[in-house]
Structure 1
Amino acid sequence: MSITPSKKPLVVTTGEPAGIGMDIVLQLAVQGKLQALEHPVIVLADETVLKQRAQAIYGEQIFEQYPNLWQRIDSEQDISEQLATHESDNAAPRFYMIDVPCAAQVTAGQLNVQNAQMVINQLKLAHQLAISGSAAAIVTGPLQKSVLIDAGITLADGSMFTGHTEFFMQQSGCDKVVMMLANAAMKVALVTTHLPLSQVAAAITTENLQKTIQILMADLKQKFGLSQPKVLVCGLNPHAGEDGHLGTEEIDIINPVLREFQQQGMDLSLAMPADTLFTPRHLQQCDAVLAMYHDQGLPVLKSHGFGDTVNLTLGLPYIRTSVDHGTALDLAGHPVKPEANQNGQVDDIKQVANSHSLWQALTMASDMANATVPDLR
């Protein structure tokens, strides 16, 4: 008879191998935080590179202090049974790894286009584990989009690779997902994601806005436990169009859609000027903000907690969270030394912030998998 683990695992992609993804996973493991999660953690990384990075950051003693730092899992075998077998051993760690090999040598801080496929292989494997029900959630580390684009990596539909959000959307067969970032100050969802500003207005269509609102309101209820979520909506134009004098998208598209959902009983504002909406008085009265484009909402949100912000993809058939920072190539592979010079101390602070961001993404994924409401406020 097969045995099953007490909890399905969280799958962590380490992303760009030359970046900080492996470093912050190692930091959480050394701090004992991965072991404290309610779910086992499976890390996707190149095993050889991960060990080299561990030695570079923590020295040879890490292998003595943590002899079972990474228990390997075979992705070709039943994940559930392997985890259950390890859980029956009290000495076994609560974090594991699946080896995803790089094609070329990895030097911390130096990008190599030859390793672009390894990054995509991580994402494909994470998707397979989540969509099959073998994993409770995906937590993604930072990748370098320019490397994937230079390598000719494309999305499932043949278009240019634009990010995790679009990748998982197409792999899952969804025609629409919603990117939302959340921290203690606010939750901000986006109607459009990684588009040049010149293309944003054309992408604000009735259908796109309707689908975005439907996904946002459904997941605020299902994944955040809000029975009647209240959402404030940004206009596209300055002053929300100033009655059509500064643009007509609010009159022609945005407000008609919002009125339609208001009539269905949803608690949504009409289009508001973004510079008015993002003030404490209004933010205290809502559960989330819907912004029309990337740089309308995210700079404000990140100014209220860059290291504490989690990226979520709403509308997927599984949970996906992510860190809110990049690959931090300048920090990758460097030991954290509190006694370093002034520049080094700044880097240490950045390293701690990046590690905390991953921790926030992991705990939120765990909370959602347990059907509990993340305590962000």
Structure 2
Amino acid sequence: MDDARKAQAPIKGRGAASQVDGRYAVTIARGEDDGWGSVYEDLSEAPGPQTRVTEERARSIISRNESPDISHSQSINPYRGCEHGCVYCFARPSHAYLDLSPGLDFETRLFAKTNAAERLQAELARPGYRCIPFALGINTDSYQPIERRYRVTRSVIEVLDVTSHPFTILTKNAAVLRDIDLIAPMARRGLASVAFSVTTLDNRLSARMEPRAAAPHARLKAMRTLADAGVPVGVMVAPVIPMINDPEIEHILEAARENGATWAGHVLLRLPHELKQVWREWLQLHYPDRAAHVMSLIQQMRGGKDYDSAFGTRMHGEGPFAQLIAQRFAKAHRRLGFGRAPALDTSQFVAPRKPSPQGELF
């Protein structure tokens, strides 16, 4: 059974439509019908793939980067893989490092770093550690559905609270409100802020592109709740996809501003590595009438390719259509009175005591 046949129909509740092969795959499996109906003609008739979570003991929890076009230099990702199933997620190719598919495996084979708080405390206690705000949930969402059970993100925030370490959260799940009891007091001390990724205000489009993320109206409601509690709130219109959600840029910014957002940003669709195939499959299944036109516009903004990873252009693209998107965003940004994300206070940080094998005497 080849890839084209595997991606014959969308899978309810999932973003990807097939098990796209990872670039490092050593063994590649293909289904063959033995004449007894062992291979489904249409995956829409097959049982949906179930979510499986593996608990793992992380050796380190802080990720660092020096990318000139990323606003944060260190982040924490409590999970690998993401059940939200966003078909456009730039992090999908990271599952290839685990010899798993950036397609369905990315949203069904998840890993929970159950010792994240323990490792974070140890790393913050190192003598040479320098306090820089953490970004939570950059690679995969810290508040994806399995957080309700594993509570890894909350355990991380508890450590940050005790040490007065500043952090930002980027999420597309209203479940962040569960931790408002920790986030709001820290925000009032200049130690926390929250941004929501809003891709569309259309519930039907959201259900297709990001099937297990919170509905758009739920994210807006969560924005308002956080803002009313004194938490600085922002919005990311991300990703912007030509002829899919780009007509909504202004509407998303207006809705976010009405619900308490004070800063905003946008990022163009990025298609690194295997994500190109995942995206093309989804586009052909859901929008076959405009798939070729959408890819043509994407390539016009990427120097004739599906993707260009060069710093400086990878986030916003190049060419006339990319410039038009940037101009529309900037105009709405000014009109609505958005400002900049607040600077967080690093001066309050108090390093935890380094764990001792002899325990605590006092």
The answer, yes or no, to whether TM exceeds 0.5 is: no
- Normalization by structure 1: what TM-score? 0.28
- Normalization by structure 2: what TM-score? 0.29
Higher-RCO chain (CA-CA 8 Å, sequence separation at least 6): 1
Higher helix proportion, which one? Answer: 1
